[in-house]
Amino acid sequence: MRCIQAERLFDGIQWRENATICIDDNSIVGFEAIAGVDVERVAGTIVPGFVDVQVNGGGGVLFNDQPNVAGIAQIAQAHRRFGTTAMTPTIISDRIEVIEAAADAMALAIEAKTPGVVGVHFEGPHLSVSKKGVHSAELIRPLGAREMAQYCRQDLGQVIVTLAPENVTLEQIQALTSAGVRVCLGHSNATFDDAMTAIAAGACGATHLFNAMSPLQSREPGLVGAALYSDEVTAGVIVDGHHVDYRTLELALKIKGSDRLMLVTDAMSVVGSNQQDFILQGRKILRSGDRLNAESGELAGCVLDMATAVHNAVKHMGCTESQALQMASKVPAQFLGLHHKGHLSVGYDADMLLIDNNFSVLRSWIGGQEQIHGDR
């Protein structure tokens, strides 16, 4: 049993001043000091741990290159120092053998209760070639039986599949959602009507809203329009100042509200490392400050962590502190069905952070266990 008193605490809904939080084992047990238990007083703000549903890599590791338990653990460790206490490591379009290896590794990581790992995100390969972004066109293909067998496994934690609705059947979307998969629409040139039909079939997410998807136009709202229009869709947004203009993101916030937008990093291996370049499926990716581009010019994921995403959302996107923190924790936790995370409440997992006024992470806990952070 331990109790911590902070200058401020945000529980996911409301703020508390000079608040005490008490944890026992892995859960929160109360918000009042307990007789006989010393109270540790700390400077800063306690908030729920961040939940990231799109993490390609970190700590010098790309999940596609190291689809094994060690690779998963290193990615999770790299992002913990930036406040991510739950994540779904993400495999981008690849050969079926890589997808199978990633699924097998995730099953082992879930069984081993690897800190911060709650499932897996398969981004592709069932995408639109015209909206492929940095994905390899040679790897894009329809959804086959071998892929479906991996996505529908019940030992992978929460599974997310990003697909283009024009490259799968409605029956496949229905089969995925029936198996508990969160189907996200992305890397797609779908019409508004096709996207809305996919949403009616069970799709519930949009992957990196505005990027690599049919745009909102006067006579064809496209996938962007469908994602903004539908109350059933939770959309991920990359708030790095490169992928989407901040004013466009602020417009999305006004339309959908903070309860249907979630911050994602789309992070590559450079996060939490000193890498200046790396190879992605045979293509050299170059880092320039906080931006990643293929040599051919396309944006290639991000040099973004969740703490910076929260900071940017407040400073540049027009979010209140509460909205930005909810978009980083409560909203993605709800999207994943993690009803015991993303909110500091009695009985919930003690996944929490101590942050400063700039949203930098000072300390973090996963399931009540304080995490050791390396150099940032």
121 is in an annotated binding site: no
79 is in an annotated binding site: no
Helix axes 222-229, 246-256, angle to 10 degrees: 40
CA-atom Rg of the chain in angstroms: 20
Are 362 and 354 in contact by the 8 Å Cβ rule? The answer is: yes
141 is in an annotated binding site: no
300 is in an annotated binding site: yes
CA distance 1 to 139: 51
310 is in an annotated binding site: no
94 is known as an active-site residue: no
* Residue of 194, 266, 305, 349 marked active site: 266
**DSSP code of 342?**
S
From the CB of residue 266, how many other CB atoms can be counted at a distance below 10 Å? 28
CA distance 343 to 296: 42
CA distance 85 to 325: 13
Q: Which amino acid is at 4?
A: I
**Quick one: residue 234, left, alpha or beta (phi over 0 = left, psi -120 to 50 = alpha)?**
beta
From the CB of residue 25, how many other CB atoms can be counted at a distance below 10 Å? 10
Structure tokens at 153: 């496994």
CA distance 206 to 143: 18
Closest CA to 186 of 101, 279, 93, 86: 93
CA distance 9 to 49: 12
From the CB of residue 375, how many other CB atoms can be counted at a distance below 10 Å? 5
212 is in an annotated binding site: yes
CA distance 144 to 328: 33
Closest CA to 184 of 198, 166, 170: 198
Structure tokens at 199: 């949403």
208 is in an annotated binding site: yes
Query: Which helix H or strand E contains 150, and what residues bound it?
Result: helix 145-151
Annotated binding-site residue numbers for Zn(2+)? 123, 187, 208
Annotated binding-site residue numbers for substrate? 134, 211-212, 219, 243, 299-301
Annotated binding-site residue numbers? 123, 134, 187, 208, 211-212, 219, 243, 299-301
Catalytically annotated residues: 266
